[in-house]
Amino acid sequence: MKSALVFALTVMAAAAVAGDQTPWVDMESCPICVNVTNEEGLTENMVWEHHLTATGVMTLTTVPPDYQPKFVRAKGRMKEILGKVVAGEAIDVCGYCSSIASLLKSGAKAENIVTSASDILFISATDEVVIKDIQVHGQKTIDFLQVAQDGHDH
């Protein structure tokens, strides 16, 4: 299923680019997301979930212990580039990463909790408009991942 998800994300990103639209998630061309695919075996060995909360969204990433160093490296590079986008640097990123940057610029708060088994990211706000925007982002991601899994989990 994991390799099918990787294939589905790649195909969907390519189709979106061909249609002259910014793909929601682009594991091949987005300078933020590509850090995951650049770490050999990481994409196939991680589970990426999104769950809506009362004040935003929770993103849960689970990676086997052997892949933790690769995940930590990728995450560090991702945070560095996202920080540049949030600061206003013009970097062409996928819809997901652009949305995260926009949410952070609009006052959303990101809280990262690392456990022995998972990396949990809460994106939340107290302003009702920002909460709604975060939940729209989260639902779009949930829908994107569901289509990828349903369409290619054979």
Per-position pLDDT tens, the chain of length 154: 444 344 444 444 444 444 447 899 999 999 999 999 999 999 999 999 999 999 999 999 999 999 999 999 999 999 999 999 999 999 999 999 999 999 999 999 999 999 988 999 999 999 999 999 999 999 999 999 998 777 654 3
Instruction: Give this prediction's pTM.
Output: 0.82
- Strand segments (E) across the chain: 47-53, 56-62, 109-114, 118-124
Quick one: DSSP state of residue 49?
A: E
Cβ count within 10 A of residue 106 = 13
Beta strand 118-124 with 47-53 is unpaired
